Amino acid sequence: MNINKKAKLNLNKMQLSNLLRITDPFLMIDEVKNIIPGKSGDGYKYLKKNNWFYKCHFVNEPIMPETLQIESMLQTIVSVIYSDVSLKTRNCLVIKSSANFYSKVNKTGKLKISAEITKKIKGAIQAKASIYFYNKIVANGVFRFIIPENLKI
């Protein structure tokens, strides 16, 4: 994958699967647009009635589990991190997370996950993400990652 550090980047589901090394059904984003490598990007998840989690989570009142919303935030952030060509590795570890939830995600529609890298210091990265559903914020979070010591960010 040829990733230019200066240009905004868009990744489709197949490219994301290869970059993140995650496949369906656990790939929780369908595309990421407007990536500024190592800085920010917008992930999207297109929700349909037949999504697997709607079929098995609160059967009489299906919702998208908050853990999967966190996963969509993490996958969007990691897509932004891994799109940076200065990285020597494609491995990072979440060491701290904090998330807030404001509303149910319980119908078809488009989730927009806005992610931003807020700090990079000696092998550590801090990022934040917010999820919007029908233009209303439904969740947000702050996450810290570590990467190998020898990586210069």
pLDDT confidence of residue 11? 97
146 is catalytic: no
Contact between 85 and 36 (Cβ < 8 Å): no
Helix axis angle for 66-82 and 13-20, nearest 10°, is 80
d(CA 96, CA 46): 27
Q: What three-state secondary structure class fits 59?
A: coil
pLDDT confidence of residue 6? 58
Q: How do strand 93-101 and strand 109-121 relate by DSSP bridges?
A: unpaired
Over the chain, what is the mean pLDDT?
90
CATH superfamily, with its number, for domain 9-146: Hotdog Thioesterase (3.10.129.10)
**For the segment 47-90, what is each residue's pLDDT rounded down to a tens digit?**
999 998 988 877 788 899 999 999 999 999 999 999 988 876 77
Name the active-site residue from 57, 104, 107, 144.
57
> pTM for this one?
0.90
**CB-CB neighbours of 141 under 10 Å:** 20
Q: Where are the alpha helices (DSSP H) in the chain?
A: 13-20, 52-56, 66-82
Residue segments in the chain with a per-residue pLDDT below the cut of 70: 1-7, 88, 148-153
Q: How do strand 40-47 and strand 136-146 relate by DSSP bridges?
A: unpaired
- Which residues lie across from 47 on neighbouring strands? 109
Percent of the chain with pLDDT over 70: 91
